Amino acid sequence: MKANDKNIRFWIQQIIFPIFIVQSLNAQPDNLKVQKDSLEPFVMVLGIAQDAGYPQIGCLKSCCETAWADSTHKTWVSSIAIVDPKVRKWWLVDATPDIKEQLHFFQKTTQGQYPFLPERIFLTHAHMGHYTGLLQFGREAMNTNLLIVNVMARMGDFLRNQAPWSQLVKLENIRLWSLVPTIQDVLSEDIFVEPFLVPHRDEFSETVGFHITAGKKKYLFVPDIDKWSKWNRNILEEVQKVDYAFLDGTFYNENELAFRKIAEVPHPTIEETMKLFVNESSDVKKKIHFIHLNHTNPLLWSDDQQKLLHKAGYKIAEQGKKY
Ligand SMILES: [Zn+2]
Ligand SMILES: [Zn+2]
Ligand SMILES: [Zn+2]
């Protein structure tokens, strides 16, 4: 290369190009901000109902009336997507009976920017609403190849040894990876997931909740727990540590199950949870987003009840919303 060419290259690389960059930065601050924001990791809520969904099978009462009549009132079973736009990857928490709709919705709403299947699926426990969606990955449906499913030890034994789940493992539709309580799993440079045990009716598996870090934001996901008082952690402190807390909101109060003993299906009622947080600031209360709502929970169908909850400073998780 001639000395002259070198000089020209120097001018372009060191002087003209940087000036051009600075000018474009100044000229398009809004566009760049949008671009930057769109690379921020987030959590998307893919459903907010209890295991049986909303409306619930066999329910002809007023709670499910509107949802049977108008499908826009239907709600999928509680589940969240953890999304990292920087690496174009996402992870799913819980495989619900509505997984077919939920994966389709995620693909559509993110305009195909992510692979159809999540990088991995994290399961909380072996109750109907949290793992039975795995069947959609089997031979009769999607026939996936080695989709990674992160599970606790008992949950893993259950899936490996009980049909029909064992077939998914044998045919390598799914591959089970273990979760270890309180050990942080690094999903990407910006995403960390940490499971913790919670007390629940553990017939077939243990139950976990998740602490999630996605970029600058921290989340708590506890869709199912028997009672806050039975937990070895303090829910007040746990909520204070995060930006968003998706908490078990199965029942609004004790009067909801007229024909069944509520003690057989223990949950902290929303009234109990609100009582615990009554002296907390509004900044703490507004972190709480109730999820996993039973069809009997008036928050699913009563505008008045929703207004009361918002007035008290709390929120309901919204299906399809980014947090
Ligand atoms: Zn559940
Ligand atoms: Zn109902
Ligand atoms: Zn459960």
Residue 151 burial (10 A CB sphere; 0-12, 13-18, 19+): buried
| 13's tokens | 């690389």
Expressed in angstroms and rounded, the spacing between residue 294 Cα and the centre of ligand 1 is: 9
Alpha helices, H only, 188-252? 235-240
Which ligand ends up closest to the CA of 125? 3
Kindly report, residue by residue over 103-131, the tens digit of the pLDDT: 999 999 999 999 999 999 999 999 999 99
Q: How far is the CA of 7 from the centre of ligand 2 (A)?
A: 77
> Which DSSP letter does residue 132 get?
G
The residue assigned the tokens 């996993």 is 292
Q: Summarize pLDDT for 245-294 with one digit per residue, the tens.
A: 999 999 999 888 766 677 778 899 999 999 999 999 999 999 999 999 99
Contact 221, 212 (CB under 8 A): yes
Task: Tell me what pLDDT residue 15 has.
Answer: 53
Query: Is 297 within 8 Å of 84 (Cβ atoms)?
Result: no
CA of 125 to the centre of ligand 3 (A): 7
Ligand that lies nearest to the alpha carbon of residue 77, given by its number in the listed order? 1
**The CATH fold of domain 39-316:** Metallo-beta-lactamase; Chain A (3.60.15)
Helix, strand, coil tally for the chain in percent (to 5): 35, 20, 40
CA 253–ligand 3 middle distance (angstroms): 18
Sheet bearing 191-197, strands edge to edge? 185-186, 191-197, 208-214, 217-222, 244-248, 288-291, 315-316
The bound ligand whose nearest atom lies closest to the alpha carbon of 265 is: 3
Q: Does an H or E element contain 3, and which?
A: helix 3-10
**Nearest ligand atom owner, CA of 59:** 2
**pLDDT score recorded for residue 221:** 98
User: Does an H or E element contain 160, and which?
Assistant: helix 153-161
Question: What pTM was estimated for this model as a whole?
Answer: 0.88
Annotated domain spans of the chain: 39-316
CB proximity list for 204: less than 8 A, separation 6 or greater: 126, 154, 155, 158
> In this model, does residue 10 exceed pLDDT 60?
no
- Cα(249) to centroid(ligand 3), Å: 12
Q: Which residues contact 309 (CB under 8 A, 6 or more apart)?
A: 270, 290, 299, 315, 316
